[in-house]
Every structure is written in C-alpha cells, then in structure tokens.
C-alpha cells in the first residue's frame, strides 16, 4: 500500500522557522531545501547566497514557478545578479529575503493557490 501525506490545507506549508531549522508541516529540516506546494526537494546544495549559481537556478526553474522566494538565511543577502537575471528572463519573478520572511510570504502565496517556490538556505 502506498501512503501519501496530504496536508489538511492541500499544500505543503512552513509551520516554524528558526535560524538552523525550518519545519515543513510537522517535519523539521536542517539542510537547505526547495519547497513547492506539492513537493520538497531536500539536500539542496546551496548554503549561502554566493553559492546560488545557474545549476541551482535551473533546478528551481524546472518546477515552473510563477515566483521564487529566495530565503538567504538569517539575513537578506543578494546572490550574483546574473543568476537572478537568468530567472527573470524566463519570466519567473524572484524575491530575495531572509528565511523568516520567505516562510511567511510562501505560506501566504501557497494558500492563495499561487505557484510559488521557496528556496531556503540553511547553514551547514
């Protein structure tokens, strides 16, 4: 028998955010990850804004989001401009913010049925 977790809200959501962990529904994650309303991509290899490169952007773009919320840890830190531009050229909106703000914004957009993807950078 295959079991699938179906959150009551109909989408995956952030329950809690601390500097070292983010809880998705009821599961704390302590390594960087990408969150979409229907899936979590764990062990995302980006731990700080300087590491956000074309490969990381491509992994996010493959999820076909309307907007990407880039959570850069405890503080807002902008990644290389050319990588952000590559997402914008694909007509994907990008917002850079700290993880707590990205969590709140993601929950709001996902609750509205928007195709938002949040990428969270957590320290190693």
Domain boundaries, the chain: 14-120
Return the pLDDT at 10: 80
- Residues 6+ positions from 81 with CB-CB distance below 8 Å: none
pLDDT digits (tens, 9 = 90+) for 26-77: 999 999 999 999 999 999 999 999 999 999 999 999 999 999 999 999 999 9
User: Exposed, middle or buried: residue 100 (CB in 10 Å: 0-12, 13-18, 19+)?
Assistant: middle
The model carries a pTM of 0.90
pLDDT at 1: 41
Of 27, 100, 39, residue with least CA distance to 65: 39
- The answer to whether residues 40 and 90 touch, using CB atoms and an 8 Å cutoff, is no
Q: What CATH fold (topology level) applies to the domain 14-120?
A: Hypothetical Protein Mth938; Chain: A, (3.40.1230)
% of residues, the chain, pLDDT over 70: 93
List strands edge to edge, sheet with 14-17: 14-17, 22-24, 27-29
Alpha helix stretches (DSSP H) within the chain: 54-61, 81-89, 99-111
Contact 70, 97 (CB under 8 A): yes
Share of the chain above pLDDT 90, in %: 91
């Amino acid at each position: 028998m295959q079991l699938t977790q179906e959150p009551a809200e109909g989408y995956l959501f952030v329950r809690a955010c601390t500097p070292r962990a983010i809880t998705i529904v009821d599961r704390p994650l302590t390594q960087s990850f990408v969150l979409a309303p229907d899936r979590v991509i764990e062990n995302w290899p980006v731990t700080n804004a300087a590491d956000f490169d074309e490969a990381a952007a491509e992994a996010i773009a493959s999820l076909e989001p309307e907007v990407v919320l880039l959570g850069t840890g405890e503080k807002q830190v902008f990644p290389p401009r050319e990588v952000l531009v590559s997402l914008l050229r694909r007509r994907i909106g990008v917002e850079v913010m700290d993880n707590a703000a990205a969590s709140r914004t993601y929950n709001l957009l996902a609750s509205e049925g928007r195709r938002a993807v949040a990428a969270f950078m957590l320290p190693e």
